[in-house]
Amino acid sequence: MPALARVALLPEPHPSSATFAADVLAGLKAEPKTLPAKYFYDHAGSRLFERITELPEYYPTRTELGILEQHAADIARLLPPECAMIEFGSGSCKKASILLRAAPQVAAYLPVDISSEVLHHEADVLRRDFPKLAVVPLEADFCQPFELPPEVTMLPRAGFFPGSTIGNFEPHEACTFLRNAGRILGPGGIFIIGVDLVKDRAILHAAYNDAAGVTAKFNLNILARINRELGGNFHLKCFEHHAFFNRERSRIEMHLASIKRQKVKIRGETIEFRSGETIHTENSYKYTIKSFSALARGSGWTVRASWTDPNKYFAVYALRYQDEPSRSGR
Ligand code: SAH
Ligand code: AVI
């Protein structure tokens, strides 16, 4: 390709950078201060998340992998022939590999993620591991409408949403997400979802306060990202990782606490922090089998099956979408 043509095809600066700036400034000007958890996942954040999944204290990943390995054949039987499997927030795609190996009837796999490099790298790995499978990565925010590529629009669809990423939504947002997913997957569509369960407070606490400090780095990376991408001047040493279980709300809360009174500049705007003031960066809701089943039912889905581990730390659900216009909120 001639050099000039290559220059003309260079991508624009990251298209979502204006949105990122607007979201960050809106969150930091709010009272209490917040930042959207989806912004954890730049390249550095995705790598830190992968390190979290390998920590001895972070039980969800290995527990869910165990459930999927044990019940892969049962789950595979629920997936329609020649279907497209759409994974929301695919990350390393490790869990999808287990299902894809057990379900050769899946014709196309569509990992959807906002973390661009990881998404495309993992899609390449899957293409090597499953040469007959169409692997179609979609870089998109799964909370916004996104187009399915034409080659899969005619295929029956199944959804996959592991990792308890659904727990990072407020329950009413989870309901909206499930309704939208129903529209994407269609009447009778199957949705496989992983959900972290309520358990002993000490186990939950340790999972988000690991001894090696990887979760703290993951949390602080959101400030580092603001410095890198928006020219912010956060001093990371002046903020502390706080994570605790809020039993009343049944959620782990993650915050970044300012260790002193300070000012931070981002894109020419000054944000003031009181000593001890926090930025609320993430919620991770923990459900019971009963409470998640109720949420799914209230969002237009029926529970076809659910599987858990011997400790009942984590559950994997197979939901089926019932398209009932009177209840679907259209
Ligand atoms: N499914 C994997 C990864 C879970 S981590 C697993 O179970 O291990 C959450 C993933 O969702 C990350 O890869 C992150 O980049 C992605 N993600 C978070 N918010 C997102 C959003 N709004 N839209 C698309 N992807 C998102
Ligand atoms: C992706 N999500 C389900 C993780 C969780 O446990 O809520 C993100 C995470 N935050 C801290 N550790 C892991």
Distances in Å between the Cα of 317 and the Cα atoms of 94, 196, 225, 305 are: 18, 11, 34, 6
Average pLDDT over every residue of 101-115: 98
Q: Is 238 in the pocket of ligand 1 (CB under 6 A)?
A: no
Quick one: pLDDT at residue 222?
98
Cα separation, 304 vs 193, in Å, equals 12
Question: Looking at ligand 2, which residue's alpha carbon is closest to its atom 4?
Answer: 165
Cα separation, 196 vs 313, in Å, equals 7
Answer whether 43's CB lies under 8 Å from 292's CB. no
Atom number, ligand 2, closest to the C-alpha of residue 49: 13
Atom number, ligand 1, closest to the C-alpha of residue 37: 19
Cα separation, 80 vs 156, in Å, equals 7
Rg (CA), the chain: 21
Quick one: pLDDT at residue 12?
40
Distance 284 CA to ligand 2 centre (A): 7
Q: If pLDDT is split at 50, 70 and 90, which confidence band does 330 have?
A: very low
Distance 62 CA to ligand 1 centre (A): 17
Per-residue pLDDT at 308 exceeds 60: yes
Answer whether 137's CB lies under 8 Å from 164's CB. no
Q: If pLDDT is split at 50, 70 and 90, which confidence band does 324 have?
A: low
Question: Looking at ligand 1, which residue's alpha carbon is closest to its atom 4?
Answer: 163
Answer whether 110's CB lies under 8 Å from 181's CB. no
- Ligand lying closest to the C-alpha of residue 206: 2
Average pLDDT of the chain is 93
Distance 289 CA to ligand 1 centre (A): 22
Per-residue pLDDT at 8 exceeds 70: no
Quick one: pLDDT at residue 7?
33
Q: Is 39 in the pocket of ligand 1 (CB under 6 A)?
A: no
Distance 30 CA to ligand 2 centre (A): 23
Terminal C-alpha separation, the chain = 49
Quick one: pLDDT at residue 329?
42
> Using alpha carbons only, what angle is made at residue 305 by residues 178 and 171, rounded to the nearest 5 degrees?
30
Average pLDDT over every residue of 171-182: 97
Per-residue pLDDT at 32 exceeds 60: yes
Q: Is 239 in the pocket of ligand 1 (CB under 6 A)?
A: no
The helix (run of H) or strand (run of E) holding residue 258 is strand 251-258
Quick one: pLDDT at residue 52?
98
Cα separation, 264 vs 187, in Å, equals 49
Quick one: pLDDT at residue 16?
72
Atom number, ligand 2, closest to the C-alpha of residue 218: 11
pLDDT tens digits, 40-74: 999 999 999 999 999 999 999 999 999 999 999 99
Quick one: pLDDT at residue 60?
98
Q: Is 41 in the pocket of ligand 1 (CB under 6 A)?
A: yes
Average pLDDT over every residue of 165-176: 98
Cα separation, 266 vs 25, in Å, equals 8
pLDDT tens digits, 78-106: 999 999 999 999 999 999 999 999 999 99
Per-residue pLDDT at 77 exceeds 70: yes
State what percent of residues in the chain have pLDDT above 70: 93
Number of Cβ atoms within 10 Å of the Cβ of 191: 25
Distance 120 CA to ligand 2 centre (A): 21
Question: Looking at ligand 2, which residue's alpha carbon is closest to its atom 2?
Answer: 165
How many Cα neighbours within 13 Å face the side chain of 295? Answer: 23
Distance 27 CA to ligand 1 centre (A): 21
Cα separation, 121 vs 46, in Å, equals 12
Average pLDDT over every residue of 306-324: 93
Pocket of ligand 2 (CB under 6 A): 52, 163-165, 167-168, 208, 215, 218, 282, 284
Atom number, ligand 1, closest to the C-alpha of residue 45: 15
pLDDT tens digits, 139-163: 999 999 888 998 889 999 999 999 9
321 closest CA partner among 196, 184, 194: 184
Q: If pLDDT is split at 50, 70 and 90, which confidence band does 323 have?
A: low
Structure-token match 């993650």, residue found: 254
Atom number, ligand 2, closest to the C-alpha of residue 163: 3
Q: Is the dihedral of CA 191, 194, 198, 199 positive or negative?
A: positive
Q: Is 314 in the pocket of ligand 1 (CB under 6 A)?
A: no
Question: Looking at ligand 1, which residue's alpha carbon is closest to its atom 8?
Answer: 163
Task: Specify the range with the lowest mean pLDDT, choosing from 22-26, 183-187, 195-199, 207-211.
Answer: 183-187
Per-residue pLDDT at 135 exceeds 60: yes
Distances in Å between the Cα of 248 and the Cα atoms of 202, 208, 282 are: 16, 18, 16
Q: Is 90 in the pocket of ligand 1 (CB under 6 A)?
A: yes
Quick one: pLDDT at residue 151?
84
